[in-house]
Amino acid sequence: MRVDIKGVIAADEDGWIYDFFGYENTTPSVVKKAIEKARSEKANRLDVYINSGGGNLAAGTEIYSELASAGIFDMKIHVIQACSAASVIMCAGKSDITPAGMVMIHNVSMAAEGDNRDMIHAAGVLKTADKAVASAYSAKSGRSMEEMLELMSKETWLTAQQAVDLGLVDEIAVPMGQAIPQLAASMSGMIPQKTIEAMREKRMEAIAELELLKIRR
């Protein structure tokens, strides 16, 4: 059975917003349902294809955990492009990468507001998140946390061969007429958080208006 992880890695509660704007996206619930379907159909193999610039780290970590614990399958992860949060998902199991593929790892980022204490707290959260991500890379590659953190701090882009040499991917795939992925900047194409919050608010207003209409009937 095939599972595609494409576009922005989005939280379950935000997937509909990306759908609304026509952004290709993958949420944890989509992957969970695919795994459940594979189990119900007693599939003996799971092929996971990743072509993503990244996105929400928490969602990426959840997908990583779901795939890593799928266990009962003969699972293989096939990488076309795996950047940012998608590169964490890539580490969930045995993998290969198309010869034209790319991997990008970098420090975690977030938006923060407040006074100097809030900024110090945010910095601490980011450092902890960086270590959590580096631990996934370290577990996959066998490299030290320190080495992975150093590569992340430089925003490191890797060719297929470099990703294999580093140990983040197991092997280069035999070419199967795969299209060469388009090179993107390090930004994952995520919708700005303020836009997401505004859309959530509008959705709640629309739901409230519909409920009022029902009552008036």
Query: Sign of dihedral through CA atoms 112, 118, 120, 122?
Result: negative
pLDDT in tens, 42-82: 888 899 999 999 999 999 999 999 999 987 668 999 999 99
Question: pLDDT by residue (tens digit) across 87-117?
Answer: 999 999 999 999 999 999 999 988 888 999 9
Question: For residue 60, what are the domain limits?
Answer: 2-216
pTM of the model: 0.80
**Token reading at 75:** 């699972």
Residues 6+ apart with CB under 8 A from 94: 75, 76, 77, 170
Q: Which helix (H) or strand (E) holds 26?
A: strand 25-26
Q: Does residue 141 register a pLDDT over 80?
A: yes
Burial class (CB in 10 A: 0-12, 13-18, 19+), 96: middle
Look up residue 89 and give its amino acid: I
Cα separation, 90 vs 68, in Å, equals 10
Tell me: pLDDT of 119 over 70.
yes
Question: Is 3 a residue whose pLDDT tops 90?
Answer: yes
For residue 31, give the H/E element and its range. Answer: helix 28-40
Q: What mean pLDDT is predicted for residues 118-130? A: 93
Number of structural domains the chain divides into: 1
Query: CATH number for the domain including 150?
Result: 3.90.226.10
